[in-house]
Amino acid sequence: MNVKKVDLSRIKPYGDQMDDGAVQLSFTLPVSNGPRAREAARQLVNSMGFSEVQIVFSEDLSDDFTFFIVYGKTEKFVDYNSIKAIGVESPKMNMEQVDEYISTNIGHPIIVVGATIGTDAHTVGLDSILNMKGFHGDSGLERYRMFEVYNLGSQIAPTELAKKVREVNANVVLVSQVVTQRNIHIKHLTELVDVLEAEGLRDRVLLIAGGPRITHELAVELGYDAGFGAGTMPSDVASYIASEVAKKLL
Amino acid sequence: MNKRIPHLDLDENLVREARKLAKDVTDDVQRFIDVKSTTSVERTVVRLYGIDGIDAEDVPLPNVIVDDVKNGGGLDRGVAYWIANGCIAKSMMPQELAEAVGRREFSLMDLPPQNEGLVAEKIDEMTKSAIEHITEIRETRDRMLEELGDPPQPYLYVIVATGNIYEDVVQARAAVKEGADIVAVIRSTAQSLLDYVPYGATTEGYGGTYATQENFKIMRAALDEVQQEVGRYVRLTNYASGLCMPEITAMGALEGLDFLLNDSMYGILFRNINMIRTFVDQYTSRLISAYSHITINTGEDNYIKTSDPIDRAHTVTTSQLINEQFALKSYMKPEYMGIGHAFEIDPDVTNGLLYEIAHAMLTRELFPQATPKYMPPTRHMTGNIFKGYAMNSLYNLVSIMTGQSIQLLGMLTEAIHTPFLQDRYLAISNAKYVFNNAKDIGNEIVFKSDGFIQKRANEVLENAVKLLEHVKAVGLISAIEEGTFGDISRKRDEGKGGDGVFTKGEDYYNPILEAIIEELRGESV
Ligand code: B12
């Protein structure tokens, strides 16, 4: 068969043929619609490194804005073989396995404190990880035999969280941040690390951040042990906690 | 109103029963609302007397005045008396007086009591002019609405949320030109928890701009202009919620706002604001809205963001009925009740659309005179904007089919960011397409009497009645403690702003509210 095979050292977008480089884009320019606006859009996309640029749709959003839908082909490629992604690394276990693992390797329940900190009022994400009900059929940490969970809810000040950590002698701190506008999450997350450090608690706990815009890379950069993003399952977090707390004990 | 909607056979006895129960539940709460006031209710009075501005430390003058009276131990009499007494003692206008107190020249509480007759006269004069002022604004708006014409329902409702009010204006103008009927200016993250209303124009807000009187003015002026160009009245929305709920309503009344998000329980549940504070504040807030012909939007859509939209559908109905009764206690006409509900069922559910139709029909039929506010899918929106766009089309279809009034347009980028200009444009085109393409679909539909939709709507209603019976038995406050709404539990003595609640003294006097109540009561007879 005469079908081109993928070359992992040079991968490109696939439209309807290997390596055709087809990409769809949409954007708005702050000018009114017309031939001149369309030509501007074409040149702009061209200058981004696309060839065979087609402005397939343009419409006025009002007098001074035009929306474009554009297709183009890119010449660029990446070497897939040399790509490394940083993510949380831990063995994947289910609830029974995690409980079993903690019983054997740690011998007592792990104490977890969770909160959405700062001005952020979103709780659904953190609750999906902590509440019994869990997320898409995967039970939350409260249902695990070997986790003792304190869920403080939202709008919690870092100092309040630190107080709870001390009070219950927590092993793990789970923090959620959903609102990211103007990098407010960075500010909140940094504040918490500072508070925990100032109170001499940072080294005593496994510190984990989560939220739809949180990546492991970002979390580590901010001084966290791990970060979990969109689509995280409670058992992902449970497995990670179990294996990390066990490691700390060694 | 001319809504062509299909008919739902609801058990009429059950409907009556539900309303009766909701009334009993709210009567119980109203009894303690009536004997209490709050610092924000008093600041509302201060604002309506025309006091605005900040002191040298940026503290708003309404806070300066109320704190001054509170610290001096006079608040249980109501702030109106002290302002009038001060005006006489110092021969000043209220604003001058407030500025002087702001400069710490004197405390209102240190001024000697003036001749009672003169003070009473002063109060009457100030109250009359306050009421005249908001009446004039109401009449101007009602006139504009009539002259320019009220667009057909469902109204297309969009949000702007750049954090810079001047940038918001650019986006609002564009949205109106594309067809938006209502523009909501999203409020800055966490304003709800501020126990004062910030002053002046916002240019760098988090997730929105502050609800300030200046921001209201800027946006209303921009809409006044663009609505002339498009030849239809454009409504402006903001949020009367949080610790300053009634103050924001007063500002809305002063600046000609059309809609205010205003729920009797949202702040308690979603912002952890003290219960008593919220109940007392919402009453004043709604009285002003009712007077100023501001349509309130209730927040039931939120419950099914944190709890399951099918299992807990009856909590939406229950809360709608409670919100309606609280609004009636403020003499609000049904047409100003934007009863909230939402299209939030997980798109993976088989026949999810049938549930949505049943729930939307139930809201429509339970509140035939109201102006229901239908909210789009948000919780199950993901980064897959293409799927999100399809979900929004179904949402629009349900709305036109079931005759909803206010359509908050779904954004395909809901899970990603506050709307880009083009997101809003795509949302408006989607709604226009569906509303036009299926314009009279409601006319053609008859629901099978033993079919899924009829049964489901009645089932939700039955469950709501059961829940209301329980709420009546334990009381609304205990029901909230039990986590009845949104699966969120709040305790009666907890929450922010509880320290701002106080019991009215024997000589408590709130002349503005009394005047408003008197007028509204007169109208409703
Ligand atoms: C529900 C909701 C609300 C509800 C929240 C109710 C509640 N109690 O949570 C209400 C109505 C109160 C609300 C308010 C606001 N919201 Co909101 N909200 C949403 C919405 C629709 C869904 C969020 C959600 O529940 N997702 C479902 C959960 C399961 O997903 P998740 O949070 O991503 O969680 C998963 C992972 O991220 C991870 N995870 C999350 N946290 C953690 C923590 C740990 C430790 C771990 C391990 C994992 C983890 O695991 C979870 C399961 O996989 C989103 C839009 C959307 N579709 O995403 C907007 C959204 C998040 N909200 C937004 C905004 C701006 C606000 C407001 C600021 C609006 C305003 N100006 O008033 C206010 C917030 C006020 C405040 N003080 O925070 C923006 C955020 C934009 C941004 N990136 O900054 C969004 C994206 C909407 C938008 N497009 O504008 N909101």
Helix (H) or strand (E) holding A176: strand A172-176
Longest dimension (CA), chain B: 74
Whether residues B193 and A155 touch (CB distance < 8 A) is answered with yes
Question: Most B CBs within 10 Å: which of A26, A119, A187, A215, as the mutation test of the B interface?
Answer: A119
Cα separation of A225 and A237, whole Å?
A: 12
Å from CA of B517 to ligand 1 middle: 40
**How far does the CA of residue B383 sit from the closest CA of chain A (Å)?**
10
- Give the ipTM: 0.89
CB pair distance less than 8 Å for B190 and A123: no
Mean pLDDT along residues B397-418: 96
CB within 8 Å: A155 and B271: yes
Which site among B158, B162, B173, B177 would you substitute to test the A interface, given the most A Cβ atoms closer than 10 Å to its Cβ?
Answer: B177
pLDDT tens per residue across span A151-205: 999 999 999 999 999 999 999 999 999 999 889 999 999 999 999 999 999 999 9
User: Does any CB of chain B come closer than 8 Å to the CB of residue A57?
Assistant: no
**Nearest alpha-carbon partner for B111 in B80, B76, B84:** B84
pLDDT score, position B112: 97
CB of A140 sitting under 6 A from ligand 1: no
Q: Which one-letter amino acid corresponds to residue B360?
A: A
Amino acid identity, residue B297? Answer: N
Q: Which two tokens stand for residue B362?
A: 């139930």
B378 lines ligand 1 (CB under 6 A): yes
For residue B459, report the distance from its CA to the centre of ligand 1, in Å.
31
DSSP annotation of B496: B
Q: Per the CB < 8 Å rule, is B206 touching A181?
A: yes
- DSSP SS3 for A175: strand
pLDDT of residue A89: 83
Tell whether A203 is within 8 A of chain B (Cβ): no
For the structural domain made of B153-453, what CATH number should be given? 3.20.20.440
Q: Is A178 in the pocket of ligand 1 (CB under 6 A)?
A: yes
Q: Is B377 in the pocket of ligand 1 (CB under 6 A)?
A: no
| Segments in chain A forming alpha helices (H) | 35-47, 95-105, 124-130, 158-168, 184-198, 216-221, 234-249
Cβ density class B493-521: b for 16+ within 10 Å, e for less: eebbbeebbbebeeebbbbbbebbbeebe
Q: Is any ligand 1 atom within 6 A of the Cβ of residue A149?
A: no
pLDDT band at A85 (very low <50, low <70, confident <90, very high): confident
Amino acid letter at B507? D
**Per-domain residue ranges of chain B:** 39-129, 153-453
pLDDT bucket at B2, cuts 50 / 70 / 90: very low
Cross-chain residue pair B163–A181, CB shorter than 8 Å? yes
Give the position, in ligand 1's atom list, of the atom nearest the Cα of B190. Answer: 77
Task: Judge if the beta carbon of residue A46 lies within 6 A of ligand 1.
Answer: no
Question: Are the Cβ atoms of A63 and B177 closer than 8 angstroms?
Answer: yes
Residue B3: what pLDDT?
55
Q: Within an 8 Å CB–CB cutoff, is residue A132 touching chain B?
A: no
Instruction: Mutation target for A interface from B189, B273, B346, B386: give the one with most A CBs within 10 A.
Output: B189
Average pLDDT, chain B: 95
Structure confidence at residue A226 as a pLDDT band (50, 70, 90): very high
CA–CA dist B390, B334 (Å, integer): 33
Quick one: pLDDT at residue B206? 80
Ligand 1 atom 73 nearest Cα:
B189
- Give me the amino acid identity at B333: K
The CA distance from B415 to B203, in Å, is: 24
Instruction: Report how far residue A215's alpha carbon sits from residue A227's, in angstroms, rounded to the nearest whole number.
Output: 5
Half-sphere exposure of A13 (CA within 13 A, CB side): 13
| Residue B303 annotated to the active site | no
- Whether A231 lines ligand 1, by a CB cut-off of 6 Å, is yes
Q: Is B178's CB within 8 Å of A61's CB?
A: yes
Q: Of the residues B81, B233, B239, B266, which is catalytic?
A: B266
pLDDT in tens, B31-44: 999 999 999 999 99
Q: Is B118 a residue whose pLDDT tops 50?
A: yes
Closest residue to atom 64 of ligand 1, CA basis = A179
What pLDDT is attached to residue B269?
92
> Is residue A29 within 6 Å of ligand 1 at its C-beta?
no
B266 is catalytic: yes
Distance CA B106, CA B103 (A): 8
Query: Whole-angstrom Cα distance, residue B87 to residue B123?
Result: 10
Nearest to B78 by CA among B115, B118, B48: B48
Q: Is the pLDDT score of B46 beyond 60?
A: yes
Question: CA nearest A122 in B: which residue?
Answer: B270
- Whether B436 has a pLDDT exceeding 60, the answer reads yes
The residue assigned the tokens 């929450």 is B495
Banded pLDDT at B1 (limits 50, 70, 90):
very low
B306 to chain A, any CB pair closer than 8 A? The answer is: yes
Before B377, cis peptide (omega within 30)? no
* Architecture (CATH level 2) of domain A7-84: 2-Layer Sandwich (3.30)
The backbone torsions φ and ψ at residue B437, rounded to the nearest 5 degrees and listed phi first, read -70, -25
Catalytic residue among A12, A133, A163, A247: A133
Domain boundaries A95-249, corresponding CATH code: 3.40.50.280
Position B4 confidence tier, pLDDT thresholds 50, 70, 90: low
Spell out which residues of chain B touch residue A123, defining contact as CB-CB under 8 Å. Answer: 306
Over residues B49-78, the pLDDT tens digits come to: 999 999 999 999 999 999 999 999 999 999
Task: Please enumerate in sequence order all residues whose Cβ is within 8 A of that of A209, keeping only pairs 6 or more positions apart, or say none.
Answer: A175, A176, A177, A189, A218, A219, A222, A224, A226, A227, A228
Lowest mean pLDDT across B4-13, B328-337, B358-367, B468-477? B4-13
Nearest-atom index, ligand 1, CA of B161: 71
Predicted local confidence at residue A250, as pLDDT: 66
CB of B163 within 8 Å of a chain A CB? The answer is: yes
* Ranges of H-type helices in A2-150: 35-47, 95-105, 124-130
Q: Residue B120 corresponds to which tokens in the numbers above?
A: 């009473």
Q: How far is the CA of A211 from the centre of ligand 1 (A)?
A: 8
- Residues B324-360: tens digit of each pLDDT: 999 999 999 999 999 999 999 999 999 999 999 999 9
| Average pLDDT over chain A, rounded to an integer | 95
User: Is the beta carbon of B74 within 6 A of some atom in ligand 1?
Assistant: no
Question: How remote is the CA of residue B329 from the centroid of ligand 1, in Å?
Answer: 34
Instruction: Read off the pLDDT of residues B364-382 as tens digits, 9 standing for 90 and up.
Output: 999 999 999 999 999 999 9
Q: Considering only the beta carbons, identify the residue of B174, B271, B306 that sits closest to A62.
A: B174
Q: Which residues contact A155 (CB under 8 A, 6 or more apart)?
A: A116, A118, A119, A120, A121, B190, B193, B271, B272
Least Cα separation, residue B1 to chain A (angstroms): 30
Distance A236 CA to ligand 1 centre (A): 20
Nearest to A208 by CA among A196, A194, A200, A220: A220
What separation in Å is there between the alpha carbon of A177 and the centre of ligand 1? 8
Neighbours of B404 (CB within 10 A): 27
Given the structure tokens 């990446």, which residue do they identify? A78
Token digits for B461? 């209603």
Alpha helices in B149-292 (DSSP H): 165-178, 213-230, 245-255, 266-271, 275-292
Please state the domain extents for chain A: 7-84, 95-249
Q: Is B346 in the pocket of ligand 1 (CB under 6 A)?
A: no
Determine whether the interchain pair A121/B190 forms a contact, defined as Cβ–Cβ distance below 8 Å.
yes
Nearest atom in ligand 1 to B305's CA: 1
Neighbouring C-alpha atoms within 13 Å toward the C-beta of B448: 7
pLDDT score of B523? 82
Nearest-angstrom CA–CA distance, B212 and B232? 26
- Residue B189: is its pLDDT beyond 80? no
Instruction: Examine the residue annotation and report whether A133 is marked as an active-site residue of this protein.
Output: yes
Closest B-chain CA to A123: B306
Contacts with B73 (C-beta within 8 Å, 6 or more apart), sequence order:
B109
CA-to-CA distance for B67 and B195, rounded, in angstroms?
12
Distances (CA, A) of B184 to A104, B163, B181, B220, B378: 56, 13, 10, 11, 17
How does DSSP assign B111-131, residue by residue? Answer: SPPPPHHHHHHHHHHHHHHHH
- CA distance to A18, B35, B212, B509, B521, per residue, from B518 (Å): 76, 18, 29, 14, 5
Quick check: do A7-84 and A95-249 share a fold? no
